[in-house]
Chains A and B, each alone.
Chain A
Amino acid sequence: MSRRHSVNRPPTPDVQDDDDDRAKEPTLVEIVNIKLIESGEKERLMELVRERLVECGWKDEMRALCRAFIKKNGRDNVTVDDLVRAITPKGRASIPDSVKAELLQKIRTFLVSVAY
């Protein structure tokens, strides 16, 4: 007895070989990233960094930069991407060294703990 499918479905496309090869090897950074997220360490680190950056006034500087940019270009013409592009260089450069050092140390500790 032949059965009729209740759903007419197109055949599943085969996974193509070359795509597979390229995408299969996750980079080291990706592996570490996944480990960070899985263990919850990434969330903790982000909270810590946010707190430190608020304390040292970095966040207020960035907000002021955003407002200046928005005022210059018109409130309704600005997208989030524009803002990100506008503040990233200054943002990266104005991170205080102490915050950077603290964060790097925490990441290193995590990496070492995860590797063993």
Chain B
Amino acid sequence: MSQQCYEHCIVLYCDQFDRDLLFLGLDLQILSDIFEDLLDSIIVDVASESHRIARLGLDRNLDEEEEELRLSAEARARASNPSHSGETNGKYVVDILGQTHPAIANEIFECMNCGRSIMAGRFAPHLEKCMGKGRKARLKSTRSTTAAQNRYSRGSPLSSQSRFSNSTTINRLSNGSSGIAGHEYSNGKLEEL
């Protein structure tokens, strides 16, 4: 450490310290030795850490040429192989087993409520309309028109039931009140809640 630096440091401190040190027979050399010792320990720490990382191969960028080659190879592979990359490839996501799934499930089957052919991915919204989100009007109308027809055609024993629901529905429909929730009175008027 240069003497100038020392003097610069000393100026920052109050004189009392200097007097104390002189009184104790200590000179600035002690200070400098202790400081250097501390610093050497820290330098050894840093060196040993870097050494460890290098020897264990934890430093990926240690050999830049190697890194550049690897990156260019990766880029080339990505460019030439469109189905290779995972998440960002159109609408097909590749999972860990290498399978791709379309965004909307496309298996078709029959709805057990209304008997229509429905796509699996559209089944939930279909069910909502098919079974009604708690709206009796839509529910009964569907039951009467579509389901009743189906049941008739299949010769179901519930035909009497559907006939009953048929009449009530006609009442409702004549009031032009489909889609409004409310109680139905015998006079056929619907009151809104």
With A78-B51, A84-B43, A108-B17 given, is the CB distance from A67 to B34 under 8 Å? no
Inter-subunit contact A97/B8 (CB<8 Å): yes
Stretch from B20-28, B125-133, B163-171, B181-189 at the A interface = B20-28
Inter-subunit contact A80/B48 (CB<8 Å): yes
Number of interface residues of B (CB under 8 A): 39
What residues on A are CB-neighbors of B73 within 8 Å?
none
Instruction: Determine the main DSSP class of B at the interface with A.
Output: helix
- Measured CB to CB, the closest approach of chain B to A90, in angstroms, equals 10
With A29-B34, A32-B30, A97-B5 given, is the CB distance from A66 to B50 under 8 Å? yes
Inter-subunit contact A29/B42 (CB<8 Å): no
Can you list, as one digit per residue, whether each of A51-76 has a CB less than 8 Å from chain B (1) or not (0)? 00100000100110011001100011
Chain B residues 38-94 with CB under 8 Å of chain A are 38-51, 54-55, 57, 59, 62-64
In the complex, which range does the number of interface residues on chain A fall in?
Answer: 35 or more
- Measured CB to CB, the closest approach of chain B to A75, in angstroms, equals 5
With A78-B54, A103-B38, A111-B21 given, is the CB distance from A87 to B43 under 8 Å? yes
B interface residue numbers (CB < 8 A to A): 1, 5, 8-9, 12-13, 17, 20-21, 24, 26, 30-31, 33-51, 54-55, 57, 59, 62-64
User: Can you give 29 A-B contacts (C-beta < 8 A)?
Assistant: A29-B30, A32-B34, A33-B37, A36-B34, A63-B46, A66-B54, A67-B59, A70-B51, A70-B54, A70-B62, A78-B51, A79-B51, A80-B47, A80-B51, A83-B47, A83-B48, A83-B50, A83-B51, A87-B47, A88-B40, A91-B43, A92-B1, A97-B8, A100-B5, A101-B8, A105-B9, A107-B31, A107-B35, A111-B30
